[in-house]
């Protein structure tokens, strides 16, 4: 079942990639729902997916927050 959520997340993100704000909102929802290892997989997928979409680069900060302290 968890795998289905991960695949569904990718599908949704692909469909909303035309709008940066919507893409980021859906990505935040996904990070809240996915398991830690799925978030790691999502990071890899996002790097590939956003490679030719500079407008979506900001979304990488959602899954790769800068650590402080």
Helix intervals (H) in the chain? 2-15, 20-33, 36-49, 60-63
* Per-residue tokens: 48: 């590939």
- pTM for the structure as a whole: 0.86
- The SS3 assignment for 16 reads coil
The per-residue pLDDT for 31 is 94
Contact present, 41 and 6 (Cβ < 8 Å): yes
The per-residue pLDDT for 69 is 44
Contact present, 62 and 24 (Cβ < 8 Å): yes
What whole-number distance in Å separates Cα of residue 26 and Cα of residue 44?
A: 17
- Note down pLDDT in tens along the chain; length 69 residues: 668 899 999 999 999 999 999 999 999 999 999 999 999 999 999 999 999 999 999 999 998 876 544
């Amino acid at each position: 079942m968890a795998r289905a959520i991960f695949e569904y997340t990718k599908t949704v993100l692909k469909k909303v990639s035309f709008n940066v704000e919507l893409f980021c909102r859906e990505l935040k929802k996904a990070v809240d729902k996915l398991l830690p290892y799925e978030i790691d997989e999502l990071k890899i997928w996002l790097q590939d997916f956003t490679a030719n979409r500079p407008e979506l680069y900001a979304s990488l900060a959602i899954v790769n927050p800068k650590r402080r302290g």
